[in-house]
Amino acid sequence: MDIIRRIQEAVDATPALSRQALSRQVCEWLDWKGQNGRYKEMSCRVALLRLHRRKQIKLPEPRDKKALFNSGKSKEIAVDFPAVSGALADLGAIEVMLIESGDREHSFIWNSMMGKYHYLGSGPLCGAQIRYLIKSSKYGWLGGLSFSAAAWHVTSRDRWIGWSEEARRAHLHLVVCNSRFLIRSDVQVPHLASHILSRCVNRLDADWLKRYGYKPVLLETYVEQERFLGTCYRAANWQHVGATKGRGRQDRCRQYAVPVKDVYIYPLRPDARDILVEEICPGQQTQPGQWIPTDWSEEEFGRVELGDKRLTKRLMSIARDFYARPQAAIPQACRTRAKTKAAYRFFDHPEAQMDTLLSQHYTSTVNRCKAENIILAVQDTTSLNYSAHPAMEGIGPIGSSKEGAIGFLVHDTMAFNLEGTPLGLLDVQSWARNPDEFGKKHQRRNLPIEQKESYKWLKSYEKVNKAQQSCPETVFVSVGDREADIYELFQMATKKESLAKLLVRAEHDRMLKDGQGHLWEHLTGLEASGIQELSVPRQKHRPARIAKMEVRFAEVYLNPPVNQKHLQPVRIWAILASEIDAPADQASLEWMLLTTCPVHDFDQALEKLRWYALRWSIEVYHRTLKSGCKIEERQLGAVGRIEACLAVDMVVAWRIYHLAKLGREVPDVPCTVFFEDAQWKALVAYITKKPIPPKEPPTLREAIRMTASLGGFLGRKCDGEPGTKSLWLGLQRVDDLAAMWMLMMDFIHSTADPPPS
């Protein structure tokens, strides 16, 4: 607070002080320098502006931006710009000239051209920046470029990179935006634009290193769809990764007033993505003894960085309300008009991004995983149907074209221990399909894996691998269904640097190396290593039965697909479990599993089959999310707001599921690990009809069964343990009982006779 007081004193003492001069003064006080040894004045100005908006300081009035940045529009152009046409070779020597800091002459030329010919004008440019002029030895100035700070959040770019919220905050400076590119409209020279782009790309990292002390690893740019086709960027090997949503940098009110732009990226080095996704190991962020959360909401959300501590407190309050009434609509869950309005404002806040909101939960999940020997990181995709809300912004087709359903998709990775208890989420991805590209599978087949929807499996595996690095004493196994039978995923999981294991159910009958034939043919030709009985539960049209499964396994080498001959064969273990003597009227069961975990005997094969059998647990989680938290009934108007709400609902759904499973895993621990004092006392008093609760709290199993009884669980011998549905129904009543209990206790204490003096 001393520095804030000092800043305000400086402003009050010198009313004419400019914001630029103030930022430099603050940098000098704090010795705030970048890697190049220069003061970080732009970062300081951003920080000062945030303090000003929070009303912690009052900055001087800003200078006229038009006078500073659009001088090219307001002044008479004093530079001659002759029209040019012809071939590239006719231009003579072409120079791409770096404009040095303090070079007023060339800055004026750059500003003049941008002011006259570029539809965005000459600025302002954001953050660190470099500008270039393009000059022909015959015709003079042809155009110019600028590179400046990258956009804070861009969904398509962030999805391509695959970075977490922490990694984005740590490495965003390594991404640089091509914020201006101009070839004058009266310069008609084919291939000039792509030629200039290639020249700039080759020199930018060295120029940036000289000016700022580090090299960027990725370039980005934005091409307005209604104005340009982006041909020169494609010709210069830039990669199209999607489009913006039309919000812009300053759209805090989500007005979507900016034109939609295509997003292009250009990696400056082959390992650009690896560098950008690298982060501080999640488990290292919360060391024992340094931070002790007061309740579950603080453990999962208390360290989320939203730029304002009040927003973090609001997030925890919303999470508590949603958990207390998981099936309620937002107004019903929040209970008061003020809290309801605050929740809607929160979900509409530009900082309320899904990855940001889940960042602390990811960290807490990794910390919980450290106590386990083996973690099954189960991946799965589910769709959220918003056909009942067709006016919602940002949704697309889901399911088949005949059904016509609309919504968006969510691909998540949940960590389970070997007892099936969910420990939390490790990764969540969400996206809406483009209606124009839906149903064109034959066109997508030839795209690189990074541009396919199936890349979600590889991104989630990378997150599991990061968690594995944080937990060297724990073995992480990434588990996927038949949709995860992707050759590039096997390639990634068998790299030397990949530590996490992989377990996938096979979908394709792949060709094996060295003429061994196809996968199924090779495994079925082997002698069975043993027979295992499997209890098959009853389904709608199938009675329960005991199935006898023959188990075979082998180490195999998979050949790459025909259209990917450049890839190398992968070494993997295959396990085939086939039912024998199946009933005549029932289809026989069969599982073919592929894993990077070594399988050398029958017991190890059975172990992998048991692991895969736990994959269904994530289906239970998705059912809890949809039916228990009613996420598909949220009415928030746009996908961005729904995603923010979804982040909270996903943690609430996990906690409900975690409670149900933990009651079976450790039934005898005191219920205070999950229930507050008022909750368990009110619950016991209501169930037992005794107004005075016991001195010792009930066990977790007892409290869970009492809670589930409020949701319809009967507790008969044949009922087993409560499921998530009866729990989420019961939890809504527990919170009301606890509120009434505290009210009655306050009343009793207030009316009690005072002790004699």
Q: With a cut of 50, say whether residue 68 has pLDDT above it.
A: no
Within a domain: 287: no
Dist. CA 492–CA 351, nearest whole Å: 33
Across the chain, mean pLDDT equals 84
459 close to 162: Cβ distance less than 8 angstroms: yes
- Give me the amino acid identity at 256: Y
Q: Looking at 82-200, which runs of residues are DSSP E strands?
A: 84-85, 94-98, 129-136, 140-149, 175-183, 187-188
Q: How far apart are the C-alpha atoms of 590 and 579, rounded to whole Å? A: 6
Tokens of 66: 């038009």
Asked if residue 421 and residue 497 are part of one domain, the reply reads: yes
Residues 724 and 679 occupy one common structural domain: yes
Indicate if the pLDDT at residue 291 is higher than 60.
no
Q: What are the backbone dihedrals phi and psi of residue 138, each rounded to the nearest 5 degrees, phi first?
A: -100, -40
Going 715 to 716 to 722 to 728, the CA torsion angle's sign is negative
Q: Is residue 264 part of a domain?
A: yes
Is the backbone of residue 514 left (phi > 0), alpha (psi -120 to 50) or beta? Answer: left
166 and 193 housed in the same domain? yes
How much of the chain exceeds pLDDT 70, in percent? 87
Both tokens of residue 635?
Answer: 């009415």
* pLDDT beyond 80 at 235: yes
- Give kind and range of the element (H or E) at residue 576: strand 570-580
Q: Looking at 83-87, 261-265, 474-478, 581-585, which range is the least confident one?
A: 581-585
How many domains would you assign to the chain? 4
Whether residue 140 has pLDDT greater than 80: yes
- Considering only residues 440 and 297, tell me which one the structure prediction assigns the higher pLDDT: 297
Domain for residue 202, yes or no? yes
Task: Report the distance separating Cα 647 and Cα 627, nearest Å.
Answer: 16
DSSP letter at 596 equals S
Pair (619, 677) in one structural domain: no
Among 346-350, 479-483, 688-692, 738-742, the minimum mean pLDDT is found in 738-742
Measured torsion, CA atoms of residues 520, 525, 527, 533, in degrees rounded to the nearest 10 = 40
Q: For 392-399, what is the mean pLDDT?
A: 83
Instruction: Specify the pLDDT at position 63.
Output: 66
- Which residue reads 């034959």 in tokens? 442
Torsion sign across C-alpha atoms 396, 399, 404, 410: negative
Tell which of 277, 304, 323 closes a domain.
277
Check whether 674 has a pLDDT greater than 70.
Answer: no
The per-residue pLDDT for 365 is: 95
The whole-number average pLDDT for the span 393-408 is 80
pLDDT surpasses 90 at 439: no
For residue 284, name the pLDDT band (cuts at 50, 70, 90): very low
Maximum CA extent, the chain: 106
Q: Is the pLDDT of residue 751 over 70?
A: no
Q: Is the dihedral of CA 325, 330, 336, 339 positive or negative?
A: positive
3-class state of residue 264 by DSSP: strand
Spatial contact of 420 and 614, defined as CB atoms under 8 Å apart: yes
Q: For residues 44 and 73, state if they share a domain.
A: no
How far, in Å, CA of 220 to CA of 243, rounded?
12
In a domain, 493, yes or no: yes
Whether 285 is covered by a domain: the verdict is no
How would you label 478-513 residue by residue, b for 16+ Cβ within 10 Å and e otherwise?
bbbbebbbbbbbbbbbbeeebbbbbbbbbebebbbe
Instruction: Check pLDDT > 80 for residue 535.
Output: no
* Residue 119 shares a structural domain with residue 40: no
pLDDT tens-digit profile of 655-669?
Answer: 888 887 776 655 666
pLDDT at 447: 80
Q: Does residue 264 surpass a pLDDT of 70? A: yes
* Closest of 165, 266, 262 to residue 218, by C-alpha: 266
* CATH code for the domain in which residue 690 is found: 1.10.740.10
Q: What is the band of 288 on the pLDDT scale with cuts at 50, 70, 90?
A: very low
Which pLDDT band, with edges at 50, 70 and 90, does 325 fall under?
confident
**308 to 51, 184, 305, 311: CA distances (angstroms):** 10, 44, 8, 6
Judge if pTM exceeds 0.75.
no
637 Rama class: left (phi>0) / alpha (psi -120 to 50) / beta:
left
pLDDT, average across residues 737-757:
65
Can you spell out the DSSP letters for 435-472? Answer: TTTTT-HHHHTTS-GGGSTTHHHHHHHHHHHHHHHH-T
**What pLDDT does 282 receive?**
46
CATH classification of the domain holding 490: 3.90.350.10
Residues 140 and 228 in one domain: yes
Does residue 252 register a pLDDT over 60?
no
Q: How many CB atoms lie within 10 A of CB 361?
A: 23
Q: Could you tell me the residue range of the domain that residue 707 belongs to?
A: 666-751
Judge whether 561 lies within some domain.
no
Report pLDDT for 756.
52
Please check whether residues 629 and 743 belong to one and the same domain: no
Are 223 and 126 in a shared domain? yes
| Per-residue model confidence as pLDDT tens digits over 153-190 | 888 899 889 888 888 888 898 999 999 999 998 899 99
Are 455 and 350 within one domain?
Answer: yes
Q: How far is CA 56 from CA 4, 17, 21, 41, 50, in A?
A: 8, 18, 19, 19, 9
| Distance separating alpha carbons of residues 606 and 551, to the nearest angstrom | 8
Q: How many CB atoms lie within 10 A of CB 709?
A: 18
- The pLDDT assigned to 441 comes to 64
Do 151 and 38 fall within a single domain? Answer: no
Other CB atoms within a 10 A radius of the CB of residue 26 amount to: 20
What average pLDDT does range 75-93 have in this prediction?
76
Secondary structure (3-state) at 497 = coil
Give the CA distances from residue 291 to residues 167, 356, 363, in Å, rounded to whole numbers and listed in that order.
22, 20, 13
Distance CA 413, CA 310 (A): 30
Question: From CA 478, how far away is CA 597, in angstroms rounded?
Answer: 11
**pLDDT of res. 757:** 42
Q: Are 242 and 159 in contact (CB under 8 A)?
A: yes
On whether the CB atoms of residues 708 and 733 are closer than 8 A, the answer is no
Residue 350 maps to a domain? yes
CA distance 266 to 270: 10
Q: What is the mean pLDDT of residues 605-618?
A: 91
> Considering only 56-70, 233-247, 683-697, which range has the smallest mean pLDDT?
56-70
- Reference 462, options 220, 284, 276; nearest CA is 276
Q: Do 200 and 232 have their domain in common?
A: yes
Q: What percent of the chain has pLDDT over 90?
A: 36
The residue written with tokens 């386990």 in the block is 372
CB atoms within 10 A of CB 515: 6
Q: Which of 303-317, 429-443, 716-730 has the lowest mean pLDDT?
A: 716-730
* Within-domain flag for 302: no
Given a cut of 60, whether residue 276 has pLDDT beyond it is yes
The first and second tokens of residue 167, run together, are 């990694």
Residue identified by tokens 């579950």 is 296
